Structure 1
Amino acid sequence: MLIGDLLLAHGLVTAADIELASHRQKENGGRLGDNLVALGVLSQDQLDKIIYEAPQAPKTIADTGIQSANLLRIMFKAIYVNSLETASEFSAAIKLPVPVINRLIQEAGDRKFLEALGTTDQSTFSENRYVMTEAGRRFALESLQQNQYVGPAPVSLENYQDRIVQQKITNERVEQSKIEKSFEKLVIAEDFVRRLGPGINAGKSILLYGPPGNGKTTVAEKVADIFANIIYIPYCFEVDGQIIKVFDPAIHTPVLKESEELPKSGLRREEFDGRWVPCERPIVITGGELTLEMLDLSFNAHAKYYEAPLHVKASNGTFIIDDFGRQLVSPEELLNRWIVPLESRIDFLKLHTGKSFQLPFDELVIFSTNLSPDDLMDPAFLRRIPYKLETVGPNKSQYFDIFKIVAASRGLEMTEEILDIVIDELQVKNSFELACYQPKFIIDQVLSACKYQGMDPHFTHELVTDALKNLYTSNAQGAGKTAAKSLSNSSASLAAAQ
């Protein structure tokens, strides 16, 4: 992890700035960051803030927070599985700086686990090559029998706890203008956005409820995307010698992309701890598939290490429970599982050995449901959700605006004549409530019909009424009828112009 990469990820410098500073560094010496400050590219305060926030590389084995015996096992598993030979290869595999690796190599040599083979033949630099002795191979195999985790060294539980607190979501102030900009392409009531803003900045739980198809999921996803701070996620952490994996490429988005075009000389890669991955704030979205087991440590009995639960992977980010009340687990069980974390902001987890430990519970939890909140949870739990916002169906004017936005994005012109056809069919003839998802559904149907008939996309009375017939079934009678649930959950809610 390089200081230049971090500055790039934060948007404080450009690749050209780094190249210019690198040339200055070659002429005048000093560190890259200091040369960037001297060039006026960024301020000393900005540089200090980035360096302070990033985990610093350990200088000694004690600095890692992990016992040397456990680090030695991690290193030997990597050597055995990946056929590694040099200190730099060991360092890249387990993400510890070379000085710490050299101390582990010395310890391995004292225990007759490694033998030196001489130096590598490299044009730029040379380093010693090592091979495992028979005792070293036995140690590696014993380590793999203990657990089959092979990868970056873990961080300590204490370091992980401190890091979650240091980068908590409430540290990031989301300004009103940023929230309004995020929702500017949606047709949504001003008072809804005004009430939503304090909930986002509080970092407390939010309940979105209301009829289906009116944008609850869209709002939740927009909220999650608002946060911009870079945080640090460990590959894994250790509790009583047990490995618990946290970093998940399906959830965590790294902000650093190695570029061969950037100058690398003299940038002091070992300044920062490679066991942590700089990432965007995570977003976890779960729906009907959520079970209680997914909120507990998952122990792989074969590999003998743990996978962190979903909400731990969402730490310092956003956890969205979509379609709340339709999970495999009952609402009561789920709420009982989280009633303490939501109140105390601390969660307790247990290893299969019986050892319990705690982690800070720092994430914005958003419950989204089209069921009645009073039917889902009792007053005691409702009290623990401080922000409750209802998404309601649009009025006729808002509905027309949604239709025009979506139609324009698909190359169609929406007229009041077509709107009258839709309103007559939905509300007069069939007593349907207007919903935000309906315009996109109707437009998609019209476009498909035009494609089938070989016509240029356009609205007609016939095409619109045919589309509306696919919005509901013939036995949907009476007031308050709603379209099929699968349609009402359309991601086009609130008329985001696609």
Structure 2
Amino acid sequence: MTVFTCATPPKTIEETGLSSSYLIGLTCKIMHESGTVTPAQIAEQIRLPKLVCRQLIKEMTALTLVEAQGLETADIKSDIRYSLTDLGKKWALEAMLISQYVGPAPVTLPMFEKQIRLQSINNEQIHRNEIEKAMSHLVLPKGLMSQLGPAANSGRSVLLYGEPGNGKTSLAEALGNSFHDTVFFPHALLVGNQIIRFYDETLHEVVDLPEDTGPIDARWVACKRPVVIAGGELSLDMLDLSFDPTSRFYEAPMHLKALGGVFVLDDFGRQSSTPQEFLNRWIVPLEKGFDIMSLHTGKKFTVPFDQLVVFSSNMMPEELGDGASLRRIYFKIHVPSPTREDYIQIFEDACAEHDLEWKRAVVEEFFQAEYEAKSHITSGAHPGFLIRHIIAACRYLDRPVELNMELLELASRNVSAAKRGGEKTKPFWKS
């Protein structure tokens, strides 16, 4: 595991990369919400060293924006408390009209770009044993691992396609979990005097740094490489910056928050926009390695597009887009339906997961009757579905849960799509 370097704490206002007027406005907003505070308490919220906060207080005192309110405690070593003057409160309200963002000081766009390129996903090499460990909980078809390994190391784009329920999403998540480096993301960044909130506690997993790690700029958060999954709810406008006209600051889009990690577009082809429209939107990012963002002011700027993009689809590649678009997807990997032996192994694993006694002979009989005799297509999702239906049925019938042909046939009737004569062969059921 590698812990990439990150900026050290700034010692002066100039070293933050931000103007003193911006930082004073942010400090005024913090003090307006918090009341009387010490420089240490300001530092905790603004995520800048106390030394820099004292410099800000000094400038604010000169501008008569704050006034001292005495020591925090009787101890001579305690901090002096400060509160806003009437002029300071006016500055705070005026700053609120520009943006209601109150929180950690942002980093600049050049700082952000430098850090993202330093910790590029291409800088982490995934070896065979790491891939195998990350996917040890999955039953994989023969030969699939040799395709997934190079795809993970490409740091580019992958299409996983095949019948529904065969673990494409699980494969994509496992690919993400094979990465172990520690990367850094900012709480927010400043572009054209506009705040873009970046760190997202729902998507970014914080990690503890090794004890020998030197001090870092607290505006950055140490995280695992993210694995961000978007499904059928994803729309084209969600790939742009989201501006809240009330709070007057932006939220970074999901795929931007996946920088340095894995972005999974699940159920590709089920979104309201066509697959071709999504591929058109991503032609430049996938080919050139950067994306173009726009502010509501009209200002455009580029950001690195540095992530492993995984498209997961039940559709065939030729149904998703034209040749020019598909050429930008570097790896196209078919995830086949499980073989008889793989299906039986998945069923055994599912029984162990649900604490159900495993009976191989019963499952073999069921497989012959429902799949081989009726030409139904297998799915890795079927065993789990069947077991959950059996458990529900036994609870209703007030009988012990067990694996037998009677209950398997009952479960299959509840969820199967009956195959009629002359129809095209289709999945045993659709998940």
TM norm structure 1: 0.82
Q: Which among 180, 185, 192 is matched to residue 240 of structure 1?
A: 192
* Alignment correspondent of 1:162: 114
Query: What are the Cα deviations for residues 296-323 of structure 1, in whole angstroms up to 9, with x where unaligned?
Result: 0111111111111111111111110000
Report the alpha carbon displacement of residue 105 of structure 1 after superposing the two structures with TM. 0.8
Which amino acid in structure 2 is aligned with residue 142 of structure 1? E
* Alignment correspondent of 1:361: 305
Distance 1:314 1:367 in 2: 14
Q: Which among 78, 84, 90 is matched to residue 30 of structure 2?
A: 78
Give the 3-state SS of the residue equivalent to 2:143 in structure 1: helix
Asked if the contact 2:394/2:401 (under 8 Å) is kept, the reply is: yes
* Alignment correspondent of 1:19: none
Distance 2:124 2:295 in 1: 33
Distance 2:408 2:80 in 1: 75
Give the 3-state SS of the residue equivalent to 1:162 in structure 2: helix
Shift in CA distance, 112/389, structure 1 to aligned 2, threshold 3 Å: same
Shift in CA distance, 423/479, structure 1 to aligned 2, threshold 3 Å: farther
Asked if the contact 1:78/1:84 (under 8 Å) is kept, the reply is: no
Q: Which among 320, 335, 357 is matched to residue 412 of structure 1?
A: 357
- 1:215 equivalenced with 2:159 (yes/no): no
Distance 2:125 2:72 in 1: 51
* Alignment correspondent of 1:118: 70
Asked if the contact 2:378/2:428 (under 8 Å) is kept, the reply is: no
Q: Which among 110, 118, 126 is matched to residue 174 of structure 1?
A: 126
Shift in CA distance, 476/236, structure 1 to aligned 2, threshold 3 Å: farther
Give the 3-state SS of the residue equivalent to 2:280 in structure 1: helix
Bigger CA drift: 150-159 or 221-230?
A: 221-230
Bigger CA drift: 318-327 or 457-466?
A: 457-466
Query: What are the Cα deviations for residues 227-271 of structure 1, in whole angstroms up to 9, with x where unaligned?
Result: 1111111010001111111011111111249xxxx9xxxx999x3
Report the alpha carbon displacement of residue 124 of structure 1 after superposing the two structures with TM. 9.1
User: Where does structure 2 lack aligned partners over 5 or more consecutive residues?
Assistant: none
Distance 2:314 2:339 in 1: 19
* Alignment correspondent of 2:237: 293
* Alignment correspondent of 2:148: 196
Which amino acid in structure 1 is aligned with residue 307 of structure 2? E
Give the 3-state SS of the residue equivalent to 1:206 in structure 2: strand
* Alignment correspondent of 1:481: 426
Point out 4+ residue stretches in structure 1 off by more than 6 angstroms.
none
Report the alpha carbon displacement of residue 170 of structure 1 after superposing the two structures with TM. 1.3
Give the 3-state SS of the residue equivalent to 1:233 in structure 2: strand
User: Where does structure 1 lack aligned partners over 5 or more consecutive residues?
Assistant: 1-9, 11-48, 488-498
Which amino acid in structure 2 is aligned with residue 421 of structure 1? F
Query: What are the Cα deviations for residues 38-59 of structure 1, in whole angstroms up to 9, with x where unaligned?
Result: xxxxxxxxxxx85x71321011
* Alignment correspondent of 2:290: 346
Report the alpha carbon displacement of residue 450 of structure 1 after superposing the two structures with TM. 2.4
* Alignment correspondent of 2:254: 310
* Alignment correspondent of 2:59: 107
Distance 2:333 2:213 in 1: 49
Report the alpha carbon displacement of residue 483 of structure 1 after superposing the two structures with TM. 4.4
Percent identical: 38
Report the alpha carbon displacement of residue 423 of structure 1 after superposing the two structures with TM. 2.6
- 1:187 equivalenced with 2:139 (yes/no): yes
Give the 3-state SS of the residue equivalent to 1:368 in structure 2: strand
* Alignment correspondent of 2:14: 62
Report the alpha carbon displacement of residue 422 of structure 1 after superposing the two structures with TM. 3.2
Distance 2:367 2:397 in 1: 22
Asked if the contact 2:141/2:336 (under 8 Å) is kept, the reply is: no
Give the 3-state SS of the residue equivalent to 2:113 in structure 1: helix
Asked if the contact 1:113/1:136 (under 8 Å) is kept, the reply is: yes
Give the 3-state SS of the residue equivalent to 1:129 in structure 2: strand
* Alignment correspondent of 1:370: 314
Give the 3-state SS of the residue equivalent to 1:232 in structure 2: strand
Which amino acid in structure 2 is aligned with residue 273 of structure 1? D
Query: What are the Cα deviations for residues 140-185 of structure 1, in whole angstroms up to 9, with x where unaligned?
Result: 1111111100001010010001010011111111111111122223
Distance 1:479 1:124 in 2: 85
* Alignment correspondent of 1:426: 371
Give the 3-state SS of the residue equivalent to 1:299 in structure 2: strand
What RMSD in Å do the two structures reach over aligned CA positions? 2.0
* Alignment correspondent of 2:103: 151
Report the alpha carbon displacement of residue 67 of structure 1 after superposing the two structures with TM. 0.9
Shift in CA distance, 96/415, structure 1 to aligned 2, threshold 3 Å: same
Report the alpha carbon displacement of residue 93 of structure 1 after superposing the two structures with TM. 1.0
For 1:414-493, what aligned pairs fall within 5 Å after superposition? Answer: 414-428=359-373, 430-474=374-418, 478-485=423-430, 487=431
Give the 3-state SS of the residue equivalent to 1:213 in structure 2: coil
Distance 1:369 1:314 in 2: 20
Report the alpha carbon displacement of residue 474 of structure 1 after superposing the two structures with TM. 4.4
Which amino acid in structure 2 is aligned with residue 285 of structure 1? I
Shift in CA distance, 345/84, structure 1 to aligned 2, threshold 3 Å: farther
Distance 1:134 1:275 in 2: 30
Shift in CA distance, 256/357, structure 1 to aligned 2, threshold 3 Å: same
Query: What are the Cα deviations for residues 345-394 of structure 1, in whole angstroms up to 9, with x where unaligned?
Result: 01111111111111111111000000111011111121111111101111
Asked if the contact 1:86/1:128 (under 8 Å) is kept, the reply is: yes
* Alignment correspondent of 1:20: none
Which amino acid in structure 2 is aligned with residue 118 of structure 1? G
Query: What are the Cα deviations for residues 386-405 of structure 1, in whole angstroms up to 9, with x where unaligned?
Result: 11110111121222222222
* Alignment correspondent of 1:136: 88
Distance 1:142 1:87 in 2: 22
Report the alpha carbon displacement of residue 476 of structure 1 after superposing the two structures with TM. 5.8
Distance 2:234 2:410 in 1: 37
Query: What are the Cα deviations for residues 102-132 of structure 1, in whole angstroms up to 9, with x where unaligned?
Result: 1111111111111112211166940111121
* Alignment correspondent of 1:330: 274
Report the alpha carbon displacement of residue 85 of structure 1 after superposing the two structures with TM. 1.6
